A and B are shown apart, each in its own frame.
Chain A
Amino acid sequence: MATASKISIENAGRIFDDGKNKVVALQGANLAVANNEFVTFVGASGCGKSTLLRCIAGLETLTSGAIKVDGEAINAPGVDRAMVFQHYSLYPWLSVMGNIKFTRRLQVKRQNITSADVEAASGRADALLELMGLTHAADAYPNQLSGGMQQRVAIARALLPRPQILLMDEPFGALDAQTREVMHDLILHVSKLEKTTIVFVTHDVEEAIYLGQRVVLMAPRPGRIDSIYDVPLPAERNQDMKLTAEFLQLKKQILARIRETSGMHTDRDLLQRFTRQAEAGNDPKGAVMNAADNELSTDVLWEEVVPGGMHTSFVMKRGSALRLTDIEGGGNVSALFYNVEEKLERYNMADTLKAQHTAYLTKGFVCYSDMGRVLASVIEDRCGWHDTLCGISNAALVQQKYGTANYQTHRNAMHRNARDSFIVELGKWGMGKRDIVPNVNFFSKVSADENGALHFHPDHSAAGDFVELRFEMNVLVVLAAAQHPLDPDPHYRPRPVRLSAWHSGTPDQRDYCRNFRPENVRGFFNTELLFR
């Protein structure tokens, strides 16, 4: 880059050491922020994003590395860097105007002052008041104002001395969603008008993408900069952009990364360890205890374990939900969905994929029927990819891969395949071979390379991973816990799956899946027409 950066963070580190405990709050952070850039910091709690911001402000000092503004290292607060805090930073004994003009009362501003300066400052205070829409509240005290108005005062106060850098520490975290959207557009306007370089810390990924030209993702233990994302949106933002594919894609990507870095994987490791121990009979209590972490918080209607290779079918009513848990890991559950009232309406793979611009299912995606209605929504997912492309195993394939083991010789240990399992289950509901359509393979991941060859990912699903489906219609669910047709495992080892059902209720207007894709809004509308 030709122009020098406004803020440069060079190998910045901060260790809290009270003599007893040592906490690495920030480690080896490197970042250059350009002049008039809007950078947002997101990350799980404890990732050091606030610490880094406070170091830039000079409120905390680094224990290693340096932060430079215009090439000069900083170590104390300064008027060139204004800060807006989450709350409680206004002075309740001063009026709104008194707060905004607070800097005027300080020594730094009183030296060599001319009457023209005073006039200019008063004019600026009035202008800021107007910009923030606070003219009518100039004489009010802060505690008479709503949270959103208080933050506007805080922003105006910070802007009065024309700082070159504005640091914002979760400034809208305590505001309601509507007020927050208004504040977003306001702060974007300010950034354009005042040409201030803004560094903005938030825990809200949507906020970070909407505001930032770049999103810096930080990760905990030790606090560090994990990755930096360029926001592929035009400089001029508007609220509609939040529903564009680019926006949602980036949001999904960042959320997934935050989940990965937030220590979720540690929980999974723990669960696996306890499960292994429990199987070995070492510590059955451990498994029970740890399983509670992933326990459903609501009342379970019914629960059942489908042994590996077995099949089942049942009806899920609209407003109920089903969790499939891969008990041992490495499992696969082939599934079909039918509208139980009119079974000709059924899960349609092609429509599901093309409507949602995807080749797999995970949280947020829904299963469409051939009538454009939503049969079921994926409301939670711990494994991130469920195959929709590869279909099911049949008798010939199973025999070829695992050898012959039929009922006559092996009784209940016989080898089963998904196709025959489906035929048996469908028969119970008056359906047959012709009703088998492309299905979902839960817990399996198959990706394509550039030549179009499909690759199966072994051990994609870990022990305890689950996926949750909420049913938006009265749905006949047909399941077969058979191995995936592309599973390269030479042994016949289908894994058991636990089913847990509960009343989830129907989704509201702000539901995650409903708003996950613009197309889904339409799909839900179509579905709800049936139940009006």
Chain B
Amino acid sequence: MSNPQHGRRADAAITVWRGWWQIRGQLNRRTYLLFAVVGMLLPLAAWWWLSGSGLMNKVFMPSPMDVLKRVYTWFNEDDLVEDMWISTYRVVAGFTLSMVLAVPLGLMIGTYRPVQALLEPLTDFIRYMPAVAFIPLVMLWVGIDEGSKIAVIFIGTFFQMILMVAEDVRRVPITQIEAAQTMGATRREIVSLVIFQSAKPALLDTLRVTMGWAWTYLVVAELVAANSGLGYAILKAQRFLQTDKIFAGIILIGIIGLVIDQLFRLVHRKNFPWLYKSKGV
């Protein structure tokens, strides 16, 4: 009664299934993409169904179409492009300021013990202070124009970034450094030609992660006397119970974040080709 053809197909299916669920297993590119798309579409479909089912009030849960329509009117009537531009500018400016200061400082902390002893406990201390609580002080010190928004994002990211950079630098294998010493490298050369080069891939990952945090501080930053920006738009929509606009703002921030994240990954791939080479010559 048994059909060998059928049996073989069932076996093949089991093999595929086993392959997927192997611990630390591999997936080919197409299957991976398939899973990723399913992961994105499933929540969207659930949302669509929930909003269309009539179970939820439209005020609490607008449908995806409502959100799309809102994005459209936002674009046509309320200057969406300007909002996105100014928010991106604030985030990138605050982030860049952090980076310019944190990377060299972190490099020094991770390389020289006295610098570590001098700065790390202080940084650890400030890191726990709530960035949001600094807003009144920032308004007093920096004023209420662009500088204050950038300052809030800076405070939110800088102290985390400096510790993560220091940790990346400390993770450079000591033998790489000692090898350079035995080859006669000066201290300067060791820092620039070995430590920094060796830590670079990890540093870029740190920057990518902190960029995400910078975006989460955007809404808080735009609490300060703003009259434009995605965060500001979300706050304003809150006052008028425009939940579709809140949804639209949140999703737009997510999309911009995703794009920037992918850009970071692209830079990683282009700049550190050795990390993406497989064994064998």
A contact residues vs B (CB 8 Å cutoff)? 57-59, 77-79, 81-83, 85-93, 102-103, 105-109, 136-137, 140-146, 149, 154, 157-158, 161, 167
Contact = CB atoms under 8 A, between A and B. Distances in A.
B178 A59 contact: yes
B281 A136 contact: yes
Nearest to B271: A93
Nearest to B200: A93
A140 B281 contact: yes
Contacts of A108: 184
Given A93-B272, A157-B183, A158-B183, 9 more contacts: A82-B183, A85-B179, A92-B275, A93-B200, A102-B180, A106-B184, A106-B185, A143-B274, A145-B281
A78 B185 CA distance: 9
Given A85-B179, A89-B175, A89-B179, A141 B184 contact: no
Contacts of B179: 83, 85, 89-90, 154, 157
B123 interface: no
B184 A88 contact: no
A57 B182 CA distance: 7
A102 B183 contact: yes
A79 B182 CA distance: 6
Contacts of B274: 92-93, 141-144
B178 A89 contact: yes
A81 B182 contact: yes
Interface string B255-281: 000000000000000001111011111
B175 A143 contact: no
Query: Counting chain A CB atoms within 10 Å of each CB, which of B180, B200, B281 scores highest?
Result: B281
Interface stretch (B65-73, B189-197, B225-233): B189-197
Contact of B193 (A59, A79, A105, A142): A105
A146 B176 CA distance: 18
A333 to B, nearest CB: 52
A79 B281 contact: no
B197 A91 contact: yes
A103 B184 contact: yes
Interface of B: 173, 175-176, 178-186, 189, 193-194, 197-198, 200, 272-275, 277-281
Contacts of B176: 88-91
A85 B182 CA distance: 11
Please give me the 9 A-B residue pairs with the lowest Cβ-Cβ distance, nearest first: A141-B274, A79-B184, A83-B182, A89-B179, A89-B175, A77-B181, A108-B184, A137-B281, A140-B281
A88 B173 contact: yes
A107 B186 contact: yes
13 contacts: A59-B181, A85-B175, A88-B173, A89-B175, A92-B274, A93-B200, A93-B274, A106-B185, A106-B186, A144-B278, A149-B281, A157-B179, A161-B183
A143 B277 contact: yes
A156 to B, nearest CB: 13
Nearest to A138: B281
Contacts of A158: 182-183
A137 B280 CA distance: 9
Query: Counting chain B CB atoms within 10 Å of each CB, which of A85, A93, A105, A107 scores highest?
Result: A93
Nearest to B273: A141
